[in-house]
Amino acid sequence: MCINVLQDNDNRLFPKCYHMLKVPCGLVSNGLFHQTWNMFLFVSRSTDYGSTYTKLNDKVGSRTVLSYLYVCPTNKQKIMMLSDPEVESAVLISSDEGASFEKYPINFNILSLLFHPAQENWILAYSHDSKLYSSMDFGKKWQLVHDNVMPGRFYWAVMGLDRESDVVHIETRIAKGRAQYVKCRAQRCTEGNRQYLFPGHVDTNSLVVQDEYVFTQVCVVIHYLIKLNQSSSFFHTKADMHIISTDEKQVFAAVQEWNQNNTYSLYISDSPGVYFTLSLENLRTSRGPAGNLLVDFYKVEGINGMYLANKLVDNHIKTFITYNKGQTWALLPAPATDVAGNNLHCILPFCSLHLHLEMSENPYTSGPITSKKSVPGIIVATGNIGTELSSTNLGMFITSDAGNSWRQIFDEEHNIWFLDNGGALLAVLHAATPIRHLWISLDEGKKWDRHSFSLAPLYVDGVLMEPESDNHIITFFGHFSHRSEWQLIKIDYKGLFSRRCMDGDYQTWHLHNKGELCVMGEKQIYMKRRPGNRCMLAQDYSRIYSSEPCLCTAYDFECDYGWERQADGKCSPAFWFNPNGAAKSCSTSQSFLNSTGYRKVLSNNCKEGGRNVYSPKRQPCQPRPPQGLKLSTSQGELSATVGSNVTFMIYLDNLDFGDGIKITYSNLSRTDDGIKHIYRTTGIYRVTVTAENNQGSDSSTLFLHITSPVEGKEANLTAMVWPSHTRTLTFYWWFDNSSEPIITLEGSISYTFHREGKNKVTVQVASGGTVIQDSKVITVKEFFRSLLLSFSPALDEHNPDIPEWREDIGRVVSGVPEDQLLVSLYPGLPTTAELFILPDEHTSSEHKRNTEEALETISDIFVTALNQGLIQFELKTDIRIIVYMTQQTLAPLVDSNSIHSGSAMLMLLTVVFVGLCAFFIYKFKRCVKLSEFPTPKELMEKELEARSRGISPPHLLLLLLLLLYY
């Protein structure tokens, strides 16, 4: 309906009437419903920005209940709506901007969608049960890509980076706190076609694919692959890392270091994104509603190299600004007067302006800070004046000269939007009560005109507008009361302007940093409309009037990797860095560029004089032998089955597979997809890679165990239900990925496992209308030995029997070789544990007898050392803990003759297992790489060698355990 607004004491905003429409939980954008967060009861469509609507019930089905709507980002004509999963699972597809729809049923419930950045018909869908599906025809047909996918950790291929545009990057959960990075084709993501570019496990929720970078995070090292130049890098840190930005082929990363709790440090990489330098310490951080990390760091739109950040200084949060991409930071100057014109007397550095920099959770409000590329130099933000950032006494502040000076425009918090391509400002009070007024300024916030936009006060939930367009329509949406229907109020503010802007309506202004005209290596002059001129800005008018490069100074350069800025502004080597020992690349020429300690700030356009004192100097190469050669399998596994394709990831020159086949490469530093090889017979193979030049050589070796599938043997499983039920219980047993359960009326079952390794067992118990479920991961082994361990009483005095302590053991060391030495910690006090000694998986079936004898030998060594009290460690200063052997046990887990027959199978619940190394290392609060631990095979070899030299086994064992400790 059309509501004519009566003239009152407010200014009359428009000569036209307002259009107030009752809308059921929908939002309008580009003339269409754009997004919803509640169910539709009916659907309407508008093609005139909300003036008129046509109901779509007949087109989508009168009984269809919808939950979400998506618009294809590369083709606005294509729209997908999701039905409410509680009613039906279906998608409704339109190819004509909602004029007509087709419904397609699906067999899963969609939680979120990800559209391809270039292909309009390609979509990834994430389901409520953590499965990822793909569609190549805009949702008509779907195919499963992968299960156990982490929410939000799936990405389409990076255009111009991945070879195939249908590649997807996925993080999959494999255990608590552990995940795996998988790369595959969207419609061909079978096990044989998957790539594991990072061998081993990664931390959950750590995969980020952005621009040319793929980031993953592990316990000790944050590892990322830069596929563009086929290189890989390591960012060494103990703690957490979050990617802020990868613009302009440069990485901004927030890193929580070992000495930080609630703050992070800002690191900035070089142009390839390989080496990082510290820019700002102790950034303020917080957690969002979903637990995601929020860093108080803001990039100012329209001004190159300008950022704002909130930093902790002497227990106070203060706002800092940089004009040279983080090389120097300064406090913000406060306004001279408040909004009423009273003098503030706020003097730097004791008092300054502080701004809230977090992003808005509602995409239809402006958030506490806003800037726009089309109006460079203007920033509007919520903040306060004083010694630190506060959540009280908030006001609104604006700068028109890129942060050099500020003015207060409101003494209450408002939402601010840019209108007319940035030529006007719209302000709406941020309040929990309904409002009916808005404020508009045409002179950069110096003067504000109040207008009435609704006869009745409205709870404003957001504002809709088309960015970067020539229309002058904004739409308020909200409700009159908490029980009323949604309302849309459409406003055409074109009446504020009388004409289009001409050349005489513009003026110029100089970008500067506290009077210094050279910013990011150049003098820049911008154009803007003269404040107060009531003319409409052209969408394509140029904002930059002129730009002239400056001569370089030291602050146009940042300190290179390993160098630190000193008080005099010069860069000197850090105490830990040896500039003469840095690795030099001479693969393509006889000289290299050696750093002078400086590297030019990326996007800085200064020009150097005749001496070029800061740029790298070319020096002749010094011949050196190859070093750091590495060899691993693509999945980090050291075993495979006969006939399977094993992929080796290497830096190589010559590769010997160990089975009589060799390959020689020349001038090859790294292979992208690895080297694939098929082994035809079982056994243990020594795989060696070598690299050499006229200065020397380097090599790397691993032992690969090729096995055949094991024969299965029955094992008994029991499900306990508490409290006991008198009614009939039905048990549904699911083994691994079986599509049909085994149904029993008893709580126990005998089942044959046909392979060694981890097997998932899920049991569902139904009683009447109640169903409960539990799952366990079971590890199957053919033969083993075990020892029962106890500890000195002092251990329990300092480590109370609480679940968190036991969880910490498994969490601190997540890479213990569970297939060789396992420890099961039993609940209760005193602390007891059972040590399991498992056979080396790198041993072929032909050497099975020798393996059994090796287990006996290793067990004897442990028994002797435990009985003599040789295994002990220091818990705290002057407190030593001795590990004892309580008794040796086989039953009831295995047959009494298992060691001799080799036919028994050990069922180990992996949820309670941690390595023996983990138990001891936890006491010293260390996080140690897996490669530092000797395997049982190495233990046996060293013991046999020691016996041949006359060294007693207990002494050797003590030596090996000391290696574990230190």
Please state, in angstroms and as integers, the Cα–Cα distance from residue 544 to each residue in 302, 374, 425, 442, 540, following that order.
10, 10, 21, 21, 12
Mean pLDDT for all residues in the chain:
75
- Strand blocks (E) in 430-505: 437-441, 449-452, 459-465, 473-479, 486-492, 499-500
Query: Which residue did the predictor score with more confidence, 59 or 948?
Result: 59
* 851-888 pLDDT, tens digit each: 667 777 777 887 887 787 777 767 676 777 788 877 54
Amino acid at 456: A
Pick the range with the lowest mean pLDDT from 255-269, 505-519, 887-901: 887-901
pLDDT of res. 841: 62
Neighbours of 750 (CB within 10 A): 8
CA dist 864 and 859 (Å) reads 9
* Residue 462 predicted with pLDDT over 80: yes
The domain segmentation of the chain, as residue ranges, is 500-549, 551-621, 631-706, 717-780, 785-841+852-885
Q: Evaluate whether 631-706 and 717-780 have a shared fold.
A: yes
pLDDT of res. 830: 76
* Residue 478 predicted with pLDDT over 70: yes
Query: Which residue did the predictor score with more confidence, 963 or 737?
Result: 737
User: With bands split at pLDDT 50, 70 and 90, how would you rate the model's confidence at 812?
Assistant: very low
* Residue 3 predicted with pLDDT over 60: no
If we measure between CA atoms, which residue out of 351, 326, 205 comes closest to residue 269? 326
* 374-383 pLDDT, tens digit each: 889 999 999 9
Query: Which residue did the predictor score with more confidence, 745 or 300?
Result: 300
CATH architecture of 551-621: 2-Layer Sandwich (3.30)
Cβ contact 181:175 at 8 Å: no
Query: Which residue did the predictor score with more confidence, 943 or 820?
Result: 820
- Domain 500-549 CATH class label: mainly beta
Which contiguous run of DSSP H or E holds residue 923? helix 916-923
Residue 24 corresponds to which tokens in the numbers above? 């059921």
Query: Which residue did the predictor score with more confidence, 807 or 489?
Result: 489
Question: Which residues are within 8 A (CB) of 742 and not within 5 positions of it... i.e. 6 or more apart?
Answer: 732, 733, 735, 749, 751
* 78-128 pLDDT, tens digit each: 999 888 888 888 999 999 888 888 889 999 999 999 999 999 999 999 999
Question: Which residues are within 8 A (CB) of 868 and not within 5 positions of it... i.e. 6 or more apart?
Answer: 954
* Residue 34 predicted with pLDDT over 50: no
CA dist 26 and 670 (Å) reads 53
pLDDT of res. 895: 32
Fold (topology level) of 631-706: Immunoglobulin-like (2.60.40)
Burial 708-722 (b: 16+ CB within 10 A, else e): eebeeeebebebeee
CA dist 913 and 915 (Å) reads 7
User: With bands split at pLDDT 50, 70 and 90, how would you rate the model's confidence at 765?
Assistant: confident
CA dist 817 and 937 (Å) reads 12
Please state, in angstroms and as integers, the Cα–Cα distance from residue 73 to each residue in 31, 120, 654, following that order.
15, 8, 48
pLDDT of res. 924: 31
Partner residues linked to 329 by β-bridges: none
- Strand blocks (E) in 387-485: 395-399, 407-410, 414-419, 424-429, 437-441, 449-452, 459-465, 473-479
- The three-state secondary structure class of 419 is strand
* Residue 336 predicted with pLDDT over 90: yes
Q: What is the mean pLDDT of residues 9-27?
A: 33
* Residue 365 predicted with pLDDT over 80: yes
If we measure between CA atoms, which residue out of 574, 570, 584, 587 comes closest to residue 618? 584
Fold (topology level) of 717-780: Immunoglobulin-like (2.60.40)
Burial 52-69 (b: 16+ CB within 10 A, else e): ebeebeebbbeebbbbbb
CA dist 688 and 700 (Å) reads 6
